[in-house]
Every structure is written in structure tokens, then in C-alpha cells.
Amino acid sequence: MNILMIGSGGREHALIKKLLESPKCTKLYCAPGNGGISKDAEIVNISVMDKEKMVEFAKENAIDLVFVAPDDPLADGMVDAFEEAGIRAFGPNKKAAVIEASKVFSKDLMKKYNIPTASYETFDNSKDAVEFIEKNNTYPIVVKADGLALGKGVIIAKDFEEAREAVTSIMEDKKFGESGNHIVVEEFLTGPEVSVLAFTDGKCVKPMVSSKDHKRAYDNDEGLNTGGMGTVSPNPYYTEKIAKVCMDTIFAPTINAMNKEGRPFKGCLYFGLMITPSGPKVIEYNARFGDPEAQVVLPRLDTDLVDICEAVIDEKLSDLEIKWKDGAAACVVIASGGYPVAYEKGKEISGLDENGQLDGVIVYHAGTKLENGKFLTNGGRVLGVTSVAENLDKALEKAYNAVSKIKFDDMHFRTDIGRTK
């Protein structure tokens, strides 16, 4: 099969390495990819948002399967564009991707179908939002931009002043652009966070092994929220008992709810959960694989990913048994100093072999480019160093040992992945 991956980060590199294990995959393209990905797939220079050019490329190159990995093209209808052209694509269509693209939609969905989540109100003007916050008078309180905001549209305000500033920056100053036309103001929840990605064909839902993301930039969960600084799988807080509660109260009800709304979801649905004292609750849905969750979940997958994609597209997922490796995986993200705010690019990376890899681990490239045979930094998150072992301690030891061999100017990574709540 000729396969086209759409996207350019560490998640896409993890998907590509898994697809390459499939005997069905004969030719793999990635648009637009990155330096490290160019060692595993043929790079295609098309922007992730350019539906017309993507479809044209797929037709010209007899693509049998497209994998749309990032949120923006999914929300914009990339899968619909391929379906209209008669090309098979993995991922939700535009109507279903709204579960991530609009927090107002997802909160209202959960309320309507009794899916546990933080209590909330939605607003379309800042005056009403600020009045509500003042009257509610409980802190911290959480203010969220409605739309996609690169994972940064959530502000946890510790007092009234911070909450008012958050509302103003999102709704008046349009810090996240049109994403801030509506906001959600919600109750602050506490407890360990768990990421559960699930394959679903709209009828049946098959959760993958659990994982835990570390979203803050610095050790001890300090600093700003990032796209994710590292992950482990399984998540130590996700017991079998909690998994059962999640299936009964969250996973299956969400799939049913989307069907009832006329928006059947096909693809990978990401459940961002918090295990609160009163049980698991949904913090957010994503309409795609998480990044860097994919980097620890996929190395543990034993079933052919191409078979899974086909089963999802053909709505035959219930017939397929999905197998996972025991043990654990850990991914430590190496970022450019200054990420997620301002950082420099173009620094030479040392310690990698000519394929951008290192013995004993898998190095997923997130933001690199290849110039004259050298890997250079080209983004905020640069590499995801991943290791699979019989337990979490060993996986972390191997990953950190490999990280110590990689160097570039001003590099930054957390030293406590897998060690915090």
C-alpha cells in the first residue's frame, strides 16, 4: 500500500515508525514531515492545511491510505476532502472533529449525556463572564478559550484579578484569535491526570494502553503549559477498576452521544481525564493522537497499525483483537531553551547517528531539519527520546541515559518525567 502521513511532529514520526513495521506498507510519504522523518518516509512539501494539493498529490501517487494526524486539518475537514475524492483516510470528519475544536460543544455534549466533567458556564461576551466569576467567588477557577489554541488556551486563575485578566486577554485582546469568541469558565478539579487514547469506528471503542503527559515546562510542574514535555505508559494512577468506570461512564457514552448527535466519530479519540476524589472526569477531548502520548503508546502496540486503520475506516473494529506489549515506555522531550515562549532555531544537534537515532532507544524527531547531513533544531519541541523496558524505572533510566548523550546549544528537558503526579 502507498500511505500518506499528514503532519510534522514527534507524534507523526511515531506513527510512521509503526506503519513501517506493517508488511502491507510498501511506500510511505509524509507531508510536510521534518529532518528526522525524512530518514523513514519520502517528504512531500505540502502544507498540512492545503486540502486541494493533498488530494491532488494522493491521486497522482495512487495513495491507498491517508493518515491525518494533527488537530487543525481535521477540524478544517481534511478527511472530508479525501472522502469526497474517494480516497481512504483515517481520522474524524469535520463534523466529528468539533469534539476537540469547540470546548463549548464538548462541554454541552457532556452535560446533555451525563458524562462526568467539571461544572461550567459558557459565555459569548466578557462582561457576563466577569460578572459570573465575581458572583461565583470560588478560586482557583478555570478559563478556557473555545477553539484550538495550540494547547495553550487554558488559564487557571487563582483569584478574581487573574480570572478577569484571563477573560480580557482571550475575549478582548484576542490572544488566541477567533478561538476566543466564546469561552468556558469551569470548576477547578484536582487529582492525577490520565491520557487514554482510543480507537473507534463509531460503533465500538477500544482504548489503548494508558499514558501520562507532563504538560508544564519545568520540573515539579512549574512554568507554563506546553504541548507536553514527556510521557510514560502505563499511567500508574489508571487502575483496572478505574478503567472499567471510565468505559461505562465516559468512553462508551461519548461514542453513543456523538452518534445521537449525527456526528459519528471514526479515528483516534483522546480522553484527557482527571481522577478526582469523586471519580474520573473528562478534562478535554482531542480528536487525534496526543503528542507526546503517541510516542509511548505506539511502541507498545503489537497489532498491525494498517489493519487497525482499515478496520476503523470499514467500521469492523469489533472483529479485530488489538494486542499490547507488557512492561512500560517512557519519552523525554528535549526542547529548545525558552519554549513555549521564544526560542532560537538552527542549532546543530550532536550525539545522533546518521539516521538521527541512538542505540537502545527510539529518537522521535519533532522539530528538526537536515542540512548537509547534519540535524539542526527547527522548533520548540525538538526530539522525543523513547525507551521501552520491562518496567517504568528501567524505561526511564534508559531514556535519560540516552538524553545525556545528546547535545545542542540551550537545550532543555525535564529531569522528573514519570516522577510527578
State which of residues 110, 143, 189, 196 lies at the interface with ligand AMP (CB under 6 A). Answer: 189
Euclidean distance between CA atoms 160 and 182, whole angstroms: 19
DSSP-derived 3-state class of residue 273: strand
State which of residues 102, 200, 211, 225 lies at the interface with ligand AMP (CB under 6 A). Answer: 225
Residue 228's binding partner out of ligand AMP, ligand GLY, none, with CB under 5 to 8 Å set by partner kind: ligand GLY
Residue 286's binding partner out of ligand AMP, ligand GLY, none, with CB under 5 to 8 Å set by partner kind: ligand GLY
State which of residues 283, 335, 392, 406 lies at the interface with ligand AMP (CB under 6 A). Answer: 283
Cell of 63: 495513495
Q: Does 226 bind ligand GLY (CB under 6 A)?
A: no
**8 A C-beta contact, residue 207 and residue 251:** yes
Crossing angle for the helix pair 103-112 and 252-260, nearest 10 degrees? 100
State which of residues 56, 84, 111, 188 lies at the interface with ligand AMP (CB under 6 A). Answer: 188
User: Is beta strand 65-68 parallel, antiparallel or unpaired with respect to 89-90?
Assistant: parallel
Residue 384's binding partner out of ligand GLY, ligand AMP, none, with CB under 5 to 8 Å set by partner kind: none
Dump strand ranges (E) for 328-380: 328-336, 362-365, 368-371, 374-377
Part in contact with ligand AMP (CB under 6 A); list of ranges 21-29, 59-67, 78-86, 185-193: 185-193
- Binding to ligand GLY (CB under 6 A): which residues in 270-299? 286, 290-291, 293
Q: Does 284 bind ligand AMP (CB under 6 A)?
A: yes
State which of residues 36, 264, 272, 379 lies at the interface with ligand AMP (CB under 6 A). Answer: 272
Q: How far is the CB of 195 from ligand GLY (least distance, A)?
A: 7
Tell me which residue of 38, 40, 32, 29 sits closest to 4, measured CA to CA. Answer: 29
Euclidean distance between CA atoms 272 and 196, whole angstroms: 7
User: Is beta strand 2-7 parallel, antiparallel or unpaired with respect to 27-32?
Assistant: parallel
Q: How far is the CB of 270 from ligand GLY (least distance, A)?
A: 7
Q: Does 417 bind ligand AMP (CB under 6 A)?
A: no
Tell me which residue of 406, 393, 412 sits closest to 329, measured CA to CA. Answer: 393
Q: Which residue is nearest to ligand AMP (CB)?
A: 284
Q: Does 235 bind ligand GLY (CB under 6 A)?
A: no
Crossing angle for the helix pair 103-112 and 94-101, nearest 10 degrees? 90
Dump strand ranges (E) for 258-327: 267-276, 279-286
Q: Does 215 bind ligand AMP (CB under 6 A)?
A: yes
**8 A C-beta contact, residue 246 and residue 196:** yes
User: Is beta strand 368-371 parallel, antiparallel or unpaired with respect to 267-276?
Assistant: unpaired
Helix (H) or strand (E) holding 18: helix 10-20
Residue 290's binding partner out of ligand AMP, ligand GLY, none, with CB under 5 to 8 Å set by partner kind: ligand GLY
Q: Does 151 bind ligand GLY (CB under 6 A)?
A: yes
Q: How far is the CB of 325 from ligand GLY (least distance, A)?
A: 21
Residue 283's binding partner out of ligand GLY, ligand AMP, none, with CB under 5 to 8 Å set by partner kind: ligand AMP
State which of residues 186, 201, 261, 293 lies at the interface with ligand AMP (CB under 6 A). Answer: 186
Residue 188's binding partner out of ligand AMP, ligand GLY, none, with CB under 5 to 8 Å set by partner kind: ligand AMP
Residue labelled with grid coordinates 502521513:
5
Q: Which long-range contacts (C-beta less than 8 Å, at least 24 apart) are formed by 79-85?
A: 79/267, 81/51, 81/52, 81/54, 81/55, 82/54, 82/55, 82/58, 85/55, 85/58, 85/59
Q: How far is the CB of 7 from ligand AMP (least distance, A)?
A: 19
Q: How far is the CB of 65 from ligand GLY (least distance, A)?
A: 22
Binding residues for ligand GLY, rule: CB under 6 A, are 151, 213, 227-228, 286, 290-291, 293
Binding residues for ligand AMP, rule: CB under 6 A, are 118, 142, 151, 154, 156, 186-189, 193, 215, 225, 272, 283-284
